């Protein structure tokens, strides 16, 4: 699985671990608004303001790099990924971990796969 990066604009921080972003879809000549769950971390409640502060500091003309692993989604339908400063490459999750606003979640990928495999099949 390869990581993909695209430019995105943060619309709102809705939960300590979820950010609503707007990203272009050039092949369809439109934009998509998606919920982005931060990958590999458990965020503390106070991290919501930390995320807002990080976005204000690192956004380049309002845009950040959104890093996803092939648009993998969690059991809530949120795209799983991270945000990065387009200039320095610093990621939001590494910054949250460094400020102790989040803790490392080593089994996150396995949890997502397990949840997906255990989900009921859609009815036709």
DSSP 36-97: EEETTEEE-TTHHHHHHHHHHHH-BTTEEEEEEEEEEE-TTSPEEEEEE-TTT--BHHHHHH
Q: Count other C-beta atoms under 10 Å from residue 39's C-beta.
A: 21
pLDDT along the chain (124 residues), means of 10: 75 90 84 91 92 92 86 85 92 95 89 75 68
Distance, in Å, from the CA atom of 23 to the CA atom of 10, rounded to the nearest integer, reads: 9
pTM of the model: 0.82
The full set of domains in the chain, from first to last, is 3-117 (2.40.50.90)
Distance, in Å, from the CA atom of 37 to the CA atom of 33, rounded to the nearest integer, reads: 13
């Amino acid at each position: 699985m390869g990581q993909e990066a695209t430019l995105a604009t943060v619309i709102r921080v809705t939960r300590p671990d979820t950010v609503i972003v707007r990203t272009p879809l050039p092949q369809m000549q439109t934009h998509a608004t998606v919920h982005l769950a931060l990958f590999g971390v458990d965020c503390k409640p106070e991290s919501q303001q930390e995320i807002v502060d990080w976005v204000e500091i690192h956004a380049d003309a309002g845009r950040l790099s959104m890093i996803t692993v092939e648009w993998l989604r969690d059991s809530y339908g949120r795209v799983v990924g991270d945000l990065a400063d387009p200039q320095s490459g610093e990621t939001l999750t590494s910054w949250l971990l460094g400020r102790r606003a989040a803790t490392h979640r080593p089994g996150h990928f396995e949890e997502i796969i397990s949840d997906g495999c255990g989900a009921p099949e859609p009815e036709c």
